[in-house]
Amino acid sequence: MILYLVLVVGLIIAMLAGPYFLGRRRVSRAVNEPYECGIVPVGSAQYRVPIPFYLFAIFFVIFDLEAVFLYAWSVAVKEVGWAGFIEALVFIVILLVALLYLWRMGALDWRTTRQKRDRARVQPR
């Protein structure tokens, strides 16, 4: 095990140190480009995306992941019987409550703040 550790550390050091000594260093603008030998990028990579995109991405990941657990249940649905059913039910209910909460919070509303404000101006409640 110690030998293994030494090998690992040694390999890493060798890999990092090798290019440092062997490689030729040249300083020019092109070196710092993301794609040194490809299409020249246009504009900034840091542009602003509306926040609902981000939220939706997160929701998708969360609910998708949670749904994966149901696959595990579906494989063993006969073996776990009613107890498993109840447990899965509890799980689904919690997911539903979470979805309800998000819905009521307005997190599923596909509009920017400005759009919401505009609509409120058009149709005053």
Partner 1 sequence: MTIEELIALVPLLVVASISVILMLVVSFVRHHRLISLITLAGFIAAGIMVFQSMGQPAIQITPLIILDDFSRFFIVMTCFASVPAVLLAYDYLRRSEDLKEEYYMLLSLAVLGAVVLAASNHFASFFIGVELLSVSLFAMVGYMVHGEHKRVSTLEASIKYMILSGVSSSFLLFGVALIYLNFGVLTFEGIQQKILNGTLNGYGMMGIAMLLIGVGFKLSWVPFHMWTPDVYEGAPVPVTAFLATISKVIVFALGLRFLHESGALGLFNVQAALAFIGVLSMLVGNGLALMQDNLKRLLAYSSIAHFGYLIIALIAASSASATNKALAMEAVGFYLVAYVVTTWVAFGALSALSQPEHGIEAENLKDYRGLFWQRPWLAAIFSVALLSLAGVPLTAGFIAKFYVFAAGASYTLWFLLGILIISSAIGLYYYLKVIMEMCKPAEDENDFQKAAIPFENKLILLVMTAFVLYLGISPQALIESLNSAIKVLM
The reply on whether position 70 binds partner 1 by CB under 8 A is no
The residues, any chain, with a CB within 8 Å of residue 55's CB and separated by 6 or more, are 107
Q: Residue holding tokens 């649905």?
A: 77
* Stretch near partner 1 under the rule CB under 8 A, chosen from 25-33, 39-47, 59-67, 90-98: 90-98
Q: Residue holding tokens 């776990």?
A: 80
The reply on whether position 98 binds partner 1 by CB under 8 A is yes
Figure out which of the listed residues 97, 109, 111, 112 binds partner 1, where binding follows CB under 8 A. Answer: 97
The DSSP secondary-structure symbol of 108 reads T
The reply on whether position 100 binds partner 1 by CB under 8 A is yes
Compare residues 60 and 101 and give the one whose CB is closer to partner 1.
101
